[in-house]
Amino acid sequence: MFRVKPAKTGVLTALCFSALLVLTGVSRGHADDVPVIEIAARRFAFTPDKITLKKGQTVKLRLRSEDVTHGFFVRPLKIDEEIPAGQTVEVTVTPQTAGTFLTICDHFCGANHGNMYMTIVVE
């Protein structure tokens, strides 16, 4: 039987909360206090497929390829990044305009490349 001693409950809660943040794609960076959002790219989807940002608030998008090279392109937010195969890149963005923006992979990655997209909502 698994028993957790009360003294470790708080640590466990923190770990569970962090895991929840990771699963939802949001983690808190400590180095520069800029929120970091993890986005995974693999043929042919981004995960998560929708994120919400706040106008004027700076966030860091940590883009990770889980297979081949992908693009991450959303013109209104002035983002045009290449995510090399199996690697992670970071892009910092401070949205200036509210709206709903389609973000696509613009690095041809195969038959269903045209259906690889996600939505960025800026409130």
Partner 1 sequence: MNPYRRSFLKFAGASLGVGVLYSAYPSALSQGEAGSMFAELGRASGERVAPFSFVQLSDAHVGFSGPPDPLGTKAFERAVDMINALPQRPDLVLFTGDLTHDTEDRDVHVQRMKQFQEISKRINVPVIRHVPGEHDAGLDGGALYREFFGESHYSFDHRGVHFVALDNVSRTKPEVGAEQLAWLKKDLARFSKTAPIVVFTHRPLFDLRPDWEWFTSDGDDVMNVLSAYDNVTVLYGHIHRDDEHVVSGAHHYAARSLIFAFPDPTGVAGPRKPLPFDKDRPFKNLGIRAVSFNGKPQPGSSSLSIEDIELTAREFRGINGTQQFLRSPNV
Cα distances (angstroms) measured from residue 55 to each of 4, 26, 49, 87, 95: 42, 17, 19, 28, 5
* Residue 37 sits in the site that holds partner 1 (CB under 8 A): no
What sign for the dihedral angle of Cα 31, 54, 97, 37? positive
Nearest approach in angstroms of CB 89 to partner 1 is 15
Q: Are 22 and 38 in contact (CB under 8 A)?
A: yes
Residue 78 beta carbon to partner 1: minimum distance, rounded to whole angstroms? 12
State yes or no: residue 117 binds partner 1 (CB under 8 A): yes
Options 7-15, 16-24, 52-60, 110-118: segment touching partner 1 (CB under 8 A): 110-118
CB nearer to partner 1: pick between 43 and 54: 43
> Measured from the CB atom, is 59 or 101 closer to partner 1?
101
Q: Which is nearer to partner 1, 11 or 102 (CB)?
A: 102
Site for partner 1 in 39-68 (CB under 8 A): none
**Interface with partner 1, residue 95, by CB under 8 A:** no
Question: Which range of residues in 12-20, 53-61, 85-93, 96-104 is near partner 1 by CB under 8 A?
Answer: 96-104
Please, what sign has the CA dihedral across residues 73, 40, 87, 61? positive
